[in-house]
Amino acid sequence: KKTFQGPFKACHEVVKPQDFYRNCLYDVCMSDGAKTILCQVLEAYATTCKKNGAVVGDWRTPSGC
């Protein structure tokens, strides 16, 4: 998110990441840092991006999902 580079960069103009980011931050904090929550949010963002025609790179490897 900091540099808006990486596997989701083509999506940021199509689907704004801010709401996904805020929800992820809240959900991960409320679940004591559960990585499964992080992976679920990233998967939801990737799916939304693809449905809106954006190309999404490999996000699973760098995130460890």
pLDDT digits (tens, 9 = 90+) for 2-41: 556 789 999 988 998 888 888 888 888 888 878 888 899 8
Is 15 domain-assigned?
A: yes
pLDDT given for residue 3 in this prediction? 56
Is 64 domain-assigned?
A: no
Is 33 domain-assigned?
A: yes
The amino acid that residue 10 corresponds to is A
Q: How many domains does the chain have?
A: 1
pLDDT value at 1 more than 60: no
Give the tens place of pLDDT for each residue, 29-40: 888 878 888 899
Contacts of 20 (CB under 8 A, 6+ apart): 41, 44, 45, 48
Between these two residues, 30 and 46, which has the higher pLDDT value? 46
Domain that holds residue 15: 8-58
